[in-house]
Structure 1
Amino acid sequence: MNNIADRYLLHAAFPLSMDNESKSTTEMICIANKKSVQEQQLLQALESSEQRYEIATKITNDGLWEWNLNSNQINYSSRWKSMLGCSNQEIKNSPVEWFARVHQADIEKLRRNLSACGQGDVSQFEMEYSLLHQDGNYRVMSCKCMAIRGTEGKIDRLVGCQTDITRHKQTEARLNYDINYDRLTRLPNRQLFIKNLQELSQIESSCLFGVLCLDLDRFKYINHNFGHQTGDCLLVKIVQKLKSCLRSGDLLARIGGDEFAILLAGFERADYPAEIASQIQQKFSAPIEVENRSILITTSIGIAPLTNINDLEHQESSYSLIEALQNAEIAMHQAKNKGKACSVVFESAAYLQSIAKFKSENELRAAIELEQFELHYQPIIKLADRQLVGFEALVRWQHPDKGMVAPGDFIPLAESTGLIIPIGWWVLRSACAQMVLWQQDRPKSKLAFISVNIAGKQFSQPYAGDIIAQILTETGLDPRCLKLEITESEIIENVNVVLSTAEKLKKLGVQLSMDDFGTGYSSLSYLHCLPVDTLKIDRSFVENIESNIHELELVKTIIKLAQVFNLDVVAEGIEREQQCDRLLELQCEYGQGYLFSKPLSLAEANNLLESVNN
């Protein structure tokens, strides 16, 4: 029985307020018997309580401890001792047994917390620390402590418990590692790299910084030809090469499948990032040995140099290094567009251009969904009698803010992004449907065909012929009234696919026209095998035909060539009567241009047809 319990039982048996001498012997005997019964009950209750405490310490997962501040002794539970791989006899009741095992990095914090709790500055605390296990390794513990005041209100005990959270911490560490690091290369990933950039941006420093972004050229072909295992081994070797070019303080991260980023800091010369990029390029000039194979892999590098964080123009400097990463990625894509295996330094003009392109691409996608396009129609004229024989359908973009946008301002973007395909099919379907309406409304019109430009990406699709046939069926247009124009360069680039599609269309009766004939270099070598019906002379040859002998002879040659192959000829860009007269002399039968009419809106085209019929 401890002292507190002894004092409690004594006080319970003989209260100070009782006047024993005033009682009779009989009363004293009765009181003594009564107190004896109470004492037995208290002893039983205390014994039961101690048994419950002992059971609790055995079944709980926590290690319990009680520090008597008066005697400076700590009672450690069996569970507390077993957490450290010790038996009851191996650990005494001294605080030294505890503090001697606490990791050096945690001991001062633990002492401060215990002192604050013992002096009443705080009533309780929680903290984590590492304790040395019997096996020589440290275990991570979560400790809770509470101050207990005695009868006089003074803190005389600290009681607490500790929980072994080592496995939890290990799991947490693995999860954090998986979140922040690439498993294959063990490099920081994009998320951790950006976090480091954000933290560094908050530090005032006059150091020079630079960000490099690298992309491995044609890496997907390595995986495709040799397998992903070889690709993974190659990536590990590449990381070794990259590290050999960097200092210990530089940060290398894998931010994508075959993309890496490097943060350079603390250099003195402004051209240092470009110098590192040059060293990396040299490293990649030699093949890499992987699984008994010599693989030559090149890299495209974008460089975003900075002066220093304090001198940046951005008011919110926390975004400066993040912008540097974005700028390096933009420069990296420019390097790939230049032909790969080179380095490009970011320039703000290129950044603004890329932003503008991105915005325009989004607007163009929205224009497709919202059907903001419309067709204009330029008349094709028989030169001898100025008779209207057909229209060329030309797409225009009715931009909600910019107004009418000409093809030259959005078709190149559409071609580079692949959006030309859905735009092109919309143009073809709309033109065919309009031609059918004209034929129905004006059955006696001499309008023979509608000419539609078709992009090479459309024409080279595997089922382009089937798509065109379906459009003709849906709109009800006679295939013989459709003339498809494809440029000479696009025919040459995709000649095999074009031939296959062209043969299907010729069986349907669709006419084909080679646009911009003469501007390429292989026209004659393909002309004999392509089932074209019409050659269109480019406007650049027509422009000075009446004064430039070379252009005149070239046009004459094209017309004679067409006659040999029994093809129609349409001259583009006719703006003056002298041009028209000279073309007639050369026996060019058809033409189009501002001399006859500009491209017309649908209403204007209807008016023209109305006047022709009248």
Structure 2
Amino acid sequence: MLTWIRTGRVAAAGVLACAVLLVVQQAWFFGRWGGDELSSLVTDASYVPLAVVFTVLAARVALSKRQEVRTRRAWRVITVAFACQLAAHCAWFVQSHVLHVTGYPSVADYCFLLFSPFMFAGLLMLPGQHRRRQDRQKLALDALIVGAGGFIAIWYLLLGPILNAPGMSGWERTFTAALPIGDLLLVLAMSTAMLRRHQPDVPAPLRLLAGSIALTATADVSYSWIQLNGGFTGGSWPDLLWLAGCFLLVVAADQQYRRPHRPAPRHGNRNAVFVLPYVASVAAYLLLAAQASHLPLNPYGGMILGSAVLTLLVMARQLHALRDNRELAVTDGLTGLANRVLVTERLAQLSHQPIRAGRYTAVLLIDLDRFKPINDTFGHEAGDAVLVAAADAMRAVIREGDLAGRLGGDEFALVLRNLPSRDVAGAAAARLLNALRTPVIFGDQVLMIEASIGVAVHDDPDTSGDTLLQRADTALYAAKRAGRGRFEYYSDVMDTKAREAELRRAIADDELVVFFQPAVALDTGELRAVEALVRWNHPTRGLLGPAAFIDLAEETGAVVPLGAWVLRRACQEAADWRAALPGAEPLRLTVNLSPKQVAQADLVQTVEKILADTAFPPDRLTLEITESVILSPDQLTVDRLEALRDLGIQLAVDDFGTGYSALSYLRRLPVTVLKIDRSFVTGIADDPEARSVCEAVVHLGNAFRMNVVAEGIETAEQAAALIDMGCSVGQGFHFHRPLPPAEAAALVRDRFAAVV
């Protein structure tokens, strides 16, 4: 049956059938159809299918791998409790309408009594959030308050009368008292299970179980009271409560099975569950007042009234303390803004709200530019003054209902709700940028600050609060890269993970193209080498230069497969030229290696395989490494570079002089080519100082017996100056721009055809 009922449609049909059965029974009861005996038969018969369904559905939860282990373990015990209920209802029907047994306590009563300890254990086994020791102590006190209030009610209604009831045997008296005590244990366990959930994260199944236990406990107390005052017969009004409680058990088991394995938490500021101790206390005093109403006002009435008022005042004071503690817990101590906890809660709330047409929610993530130098130069007090001034600027920008918070350090967030358009978020960001540019006076100092802002608009119902904050963070760093002191909207183009996946897909789908920039002899223009430069032929954005994706490739590690692809494609192209034009054999091929490629343990094997597969000779290949590699290489890096050199490959240092060059490593590493960065070439024709610096770099390369190649040559005057310095090879727009494969092949044929 379990396999059969695991299908969603069958389970839904079972729940619907139970609902119809409950409605029919209620109509039968209130319609008084067929007399008391038939009404009792219909009512007692209605329990059996309800009990069968909730027991089977509970077993489905207990055996389902969709539930976490602790939940399954708890529901196994709850299933046993439900089975006791099923046995009790079946036994009651048989003894009342088949065997006509009227003894008390009966088999059915024993089965009903067994339900309480198993359900008590199952409820306490239900998983809750991890809490500190202090929180667990408060939870225990709250649960005991609820239990004490319930005990007062049960004592007033049942336990006191049971102890004084005449004509009952000792066993009957004990059994009759055990039923309400079992219900009291269930109330205590249910209040514990609900109170140990954080905020309003009380799942629907638990709330349904609580409703069922409340109805069942009320019916049980009524049943015991009726037994004390004349004897219970089936079809009475407590059956309405029992049947409704049974139906809630059906729905609870079904909802638990449908509940996700890790449901998204819901956050909020209020939770009706925490009112339980106060409700229990008030109810207990009301019963006490009712019981003592016949006592004289002096002294008993006044004492009871005073105790009740005193308790209410303590409750009110505790509620104020809870509210104050809540405000302290979600407020930043320095700025008075919300802290990360409250910002995260608000975002989680908004992410679960439906998106309305024409209404937008936006998150602005703000980071103060150049805040660290202020802290370092003028001290933390100056930094605190800047943070307070920034908080004041944010309060001036937001509206009532919006939220401004400090996430930590100099990072802030604004949550703007019910915006009429996306542009309003940008307008708020622009106003905030202007407000933050107001100078901050600190003692004798005038502190100038700016900020970068990332804006993310919530327009996707499946976007979580954390994702929205991450998107704003992505946009923030895009604003910083674009020059700071500005704001940027988030777009999918900024998403690092999405862009990384797109880039890796581009490599696999052959969307990349290798361009070739020729390097020539400066005095004759003779073609000496070609440098491979990658481009991305993007399907929607057109041809992209390396600046659009190389940084992303370096950041994500995609540069390793990208670099291997470029090397293979470039070697294949150059090998094809050599095969078609034997005179092109002296032409060298230059390919860049990223630092991450150099760090790969299998670099040498990868290069060897590519050369073997493409039949390109290693002595015609030059691999360029950056200064960051030669700055402080470890022994493994040195070994890899020497292994490449032993294959016959030349190694070049690219963009020499732009970093923190360590000259000692030029002697240690197997580098044979020094490429002068374009920044040293610019201005050498008309600026004596620039010329002197460039000439020093050329002489340095010659001193280390390296071949010197100049990059970024754009004029004939720059080429002439380099020749005078002793540099013989160069590349740049003055000679050739980077050429697509077909044009590069045509240039090679043109230059080397005569040699053939």
CA drift of 1:445 comes to 2.6
- The equivalences for 1:154-553 within 5 A come to 191-193=264-266, 245-246=329-330, 261-263=344-346, 270=395, 277-278=407-408, 303-307=412-416, 309-310=417-418, 313=421, 324-331=465-472, 349=488, 351-352=490-491, 355=494, 357=496, 359-445=498-584, 447-492=586-631, 494=633, 496-553=635-692
Matched, 1:556 2:584: no
CA drift of 1:128 comes to 3.1
**CA distance in 2 between partners of 1:573 and 1:430 (Å):** 24
Matched, 1:128 2:269: no
| Equivalent residues of 2:650, 2:672 under 8 A apart | yes
- Tell me: CA distance 1:80–1:90, structure 2 relative to 1, closer, same or farther (3 Å): farther
Q: Deviations over 1:406-437 (max 9, x none)?
A: 12222122222211111110110111122222
**CA distance in 2 between partners of 1:546 and 1:441 (Å):** 40
For structure 2, the residue ranges without an aligned partner over 5 or more in a row are: 1-40, 49-83, 97-101, 115-161, 163-168, 189-210, 224-232, 272-324, 332-337, 350-391, 425-456, 481-485
Letter in 2 for 1:128: S
Q: Deviations over 1:489-526 (max 9, x none)?
A: 34326554432211111111110000001111224232
Letter in 1 for 2:736: S
**CA distance in 2 between partners of 1:317 and 1:583 (Å):** 57
- Tell me: CA distance 1:596–1:92, structure 2 relative to 1, closer, same or farther (3 Å): closer
CA drift of 1:565 comes to 1.2
Larger radius of gyration: 1
- Tell me: CA distance 1:583–1:92, structure 2 relative to 1, closer, same or farther (3 Å): closer
Letter in 1 for 2:514: L
Q: Pick which of 155-164 and 421-430 moved more.
A: 155-164
Alignment partner of 1:60 out of 64, 67, 87: 87
**CA distance in 2 between partners of 1:516 and 1:178 (Å):** 55
Alignment partner of 2:109 out of 75, 81, 85: 81
Matched, 1:580 2:719: yes
SS of residue matched to 2:265? helix
What TM-score, normalized to structure 1?
A: 0.57
Letter in 1 for 2:212: E
Match of 1:603 in 2: 742
Q: Deviations over 1:96-151 (max 9, x none)?
A: 999x999999xxxxxxxxxxxxxxxxxxxxx9344459999x9xxxxxxx998xxx
Q: Pick which of 563-572 and 353-362 moved more.
A: 353-362
Letter in 2 for 1:482: L
Q: Deviations over 1:570-612 (max 9, x none)?
A: 0111121111111111110101112211112222122212221
Q: Pick which of 157-166 and 550-559 moved more.
A: 157-166
CA drift of 1:311 comes to 5.2
Letter in 2 for 1:431: A
CA drift of 1:363 comes to 2.8
**CA distance in 1 between partners of 2:506 and 2:85 (Å):** 73
CA drift of 1:531 comes to 1.0
| Equivalent residues of 2:521, 2:730 under 8 A apart | yes
For structure 1, the residue ranges without an aligned partner over 5 or more in a row are: 1-48, 69-73, 106-126, 139-145, 149-154, 181-189, 200-240, 255-259, 282-300, 340-346
**CA distance in 2 between partners of 1:379 and 1:525 (Å):** 31
- Tell me: CA distance 1:474–1:243, structure 2 relative to 1, closer, same or farther (3 Å): farther
- The equivalences for 1:100-119 within 5 A come to none
Letter in 1 for 2:733: Y
| Equivalent residues of 1:456, 1:491 under 8 A apart | no
| Equivalent residues of 2:592, 2:624 under 8 A apart | yes
| Equivalent residues of 2:88, 2:108 under 8 A apart | no
- Tell me: CA distance 1:310–1:397, structure 2 relative to 1, closer, same or farther (3 Å): closer
CA drift of 1:348 comes to 6.6
Letter in 1 for 2:522: L
**CA distance in 1 between partners of 2:477 and 2:104 (Å):** 67
- Tell me: CA distance 1:132–1:519, structure 2 relative to 1, closer, same or farther (3 Å): same
Letter in 2 for 1:558: V
Letter in 1 for 2:87: T
Q: Write 1 or 2 for the structure with the bigger share of helix.
A: 2
- Tell me: CA distance 1:244–1:536, structure 2 relative to 1, closer, same or farther (3 Å): same
| Equivalent residues of 2:404, 2:415 under 8 A apart | no
CA drift of 1:328 comes to 2.4
What TM-score, normalized to structure 2?
A: 0.47
- Tell me: CA distance 1:179–1:531, structure 2 relative to 1, closer, same or farther (3 Å): same
| Equivalent residues of 2:517, 2:731 under 8 A apart | yes
- Tell me: CA distance 1:361–1:406, structure 2 relative to 1, closer, same or farther (3 Å): same
**CA distance in 1 between partners of 2:576 and 2:458 (Å):** 62
- Tell me: CA distance 1:262–1:440, structure 2 relative to 1, closer, same or farther (3 Å): same
CA drift of 1:261 comes to 4.0
**CA distance in 2 between partners of 1:526 and 1:242 (Å):** 60
| Equivalent residues of 1:388, 1:446 under 8 A apart | no
**CA distance in 2 between partners of 1:476 and 1:529 (Å):** 31
- Tell me: CA distance 1:577–1:333, structure 2 relative to 1, closer, same or farther (3 Å): closer
- Tell me: CA distance 1:169–1:76, structure 2 relative to 1, closer, same or farther (3 Å): farther
Letter in 2 for 1:305: L
Q: Deviations over 1:194-214 (max 9, x none)?
A: x769x9xxxxxxxxxxxxxxx
Q: Write 1 or 2 for the structure with the bigger share of strand.
A: 1
**CA distance in 2 between partners of 1:509 and 1:487 (Å):** 20
- Tell me: CA distance 1:251–1:76, structure 2 relative to 1, closer, same or farther (3 Å): farther
CA drift of 1:403 comes to 2.3
- Tell me: CA distance 1:104–1:366, structure 2 relative to 1, closer, same or farther (3 Å): closer
Match of 2:362 in 1: none
Alpha-carbon RMSD: 5.6
Letter in 2 for 1:433: Q
Aligned-residue sequence identity (percent) comes to: 28
CA drift of 1:304 comes to 3.8
| Equivalent residues of 1:302, 1:329 under 8 A apart | no
| Equivalent residues of 1:573, 1:594 under 8 A apart | yes
SS of residue matched to 2:714? coil
**CA distance in 2 between partners of 1:523 and 1:317 (Å):** 50
CA drift of 1:362 comes to 3.6
Paired positions, count: 429
